[in-house]
């Protein structure tokens, strides 16, 4: 399947997801990935569709007055949370290619009277609508895995272009624990569900390094992917949930515990970032989702000041305790 077909499938799926009206589901998923009650209470419930695979804001160190870009902003969940942090003197730009998601996020923006956030229509491999070097921080949550493999490097180059010298990047994403079998790679239900397009950690490392990022750190957050399919619309746990038979013992043997990782990367050479409905997973997973993929959270700190990078690492340590 070529890139355009993949984008069409992704658009179709997330247009349907944009109509989701189960805030309790979204709340349960968000809390499982580290969002607090206070954070969730600070934004419209409509913005939380339960698409997170981490909390990039927890490691982004966003300050008042900064400009933040959210790649794949969806209904605006992280963008609105970031807008609370940057305050009236700051600005948040949400980027999404899906018209239905943009319609929803803009509706929420109007209803809540937010004036420091805007949403623009664009893919994330070429964001010509945004000028270079304007962002102090870029965030993204469970989105880059949806970009076709041949185009993933473009995303990281664009992020580097958009960041100010000394800016930083915080990404939550899903990564493959090991090479995925072709049956998984080619299944579109699994692809739009954020599984089949996942890269391995060494690939992510190379994407970042090739784009100009350095001081990269990947840290396990110990989150469980099965929350997506174990949670009812009302936020309760599916007591009768049963993991289906495995594809085969040799293929699904666990490589250690299920995990979710942070990745921090720092100073660039120029220094002078989920999802699917239950039936989308069950169709081909045929086993514990954690057998195949990890949740990885990344924070790329491009500031030359070592103290800032250390500060991010301290945040990570605090959250992992």
Sequence ranges of the domains in the chain? 3-320
**Residue 299: closest CA among 146, 173, 202:** 173
CB 301 within 8 A of CB 176: no
Q: pLDDT per residue over 136-173, tens digit each?
A: 999 999 999 999 999 999 999 999 999 999 999 999 99
**Domain 3-320: which topology?**
Rossmann fold (3.40.50)
Long-range interactions of 119-124: CB distance < 8 A, separation 24+: 119/73, 119/76, 119/79, 119/93, 119/94, 119/95, 120/93, 120/94, 120/95, 121/96, 121/97, 122/95, 122/96, 122/97, 123/7, 123/97, 124/71, 124/72, 124/95, 124/97, 124/155, 124/158
What's this model's pTM, rounded to 2 decimal places? 0.80
Residues 6+ apart with CB under 8 A from 161: 132, 133
pLDDT tens per residue across all 321 residues of the chain = 799 999 999 999 999 999 987 889 999 999 998 899 999 999 999 999 999 998 999 989 999 999 999 999 999 999 999 999 999 999 999 999 999 999 999 999 999 999 999 999 999 999 999 999 999 999 999 999 999 999 999 999 999 999 999 999 999 998 888 898 898 889 999 899 988 999 988 998 899 999 999 877 776 677 777 788 888 888 888 754 433 333 323 332 333 332 333 434 443 333 333 444 334 333 434 455 555 565 554 444 443 222 233 333 333 223 322
Q: What's the confidence (pLDDT) of residue 276?
A: 41
Q: What's the confidence (pLDDT) of residue 290?
A: 59
């Amino acid at each position: 399947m070529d890139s355009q077909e993949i984008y069409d499938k992704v658009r179709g799926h997330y247009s349907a997801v944009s109509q989701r009206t189960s805030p309790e589901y979204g709340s349960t998923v968000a809390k499982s990935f580290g969002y607090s009650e206070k954070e969730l209470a600070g934004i419209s419930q409509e913005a939380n569709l339960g698409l997170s695979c981490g909390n990039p804001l927890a490691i982004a160190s966003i300050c008042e007055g900064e400009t933040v870009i959210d790649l794949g902003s969806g209904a605006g969940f992280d963008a609105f949370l970031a807008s609370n942090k940057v305050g009236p003197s700051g600005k948040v730009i949400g980027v999404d290619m899906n018209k239905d998601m943009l319609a929803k996020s803009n509706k929420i923006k109007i209803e809540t009277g937010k004036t420091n956030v805007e949403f623009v229509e664009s893919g994330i491999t070429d964001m010509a609508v945004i000028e270079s070097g304007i962002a102090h921080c870029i965030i993204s949550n469970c989105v880059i895995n949806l970009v076709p493999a041949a185009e993933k490097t473009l995303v990281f180059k664009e992020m580097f272009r958009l960041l100010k010298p000394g800016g930083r990047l915080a990404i939550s994403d899903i990564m493959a624990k090991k090479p995925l079998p072709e049956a998984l790679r080619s299944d579109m239900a699994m692809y739009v569900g954020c599984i089949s397009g996942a890269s391995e950690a060494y690939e992510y490392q190379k994407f970042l390094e090739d784009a100009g990022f350095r001081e990269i750190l990947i840290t396990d957050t110990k989150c469980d992917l099965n929350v997506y399919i174990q949670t009812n619309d009302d936020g309760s746990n599916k007591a009768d949930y049963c993991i289906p038979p495995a594809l085969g013992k040799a293929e699904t043997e666990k490589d250690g515990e299920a995990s979710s990782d942070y990745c921090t990367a720092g100073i660039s050479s120029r220094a002078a970032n989920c999802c699917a409905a239950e039936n989308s997973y069950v169709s081909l997973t045929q086993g514990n989702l954690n057998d195949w993929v990890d949740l990885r959270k990344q924070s790329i700190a491009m500031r030359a000041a070592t103290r800032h990078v250390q500060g991010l690492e301290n945040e990570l340590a605090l959250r992992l305790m």
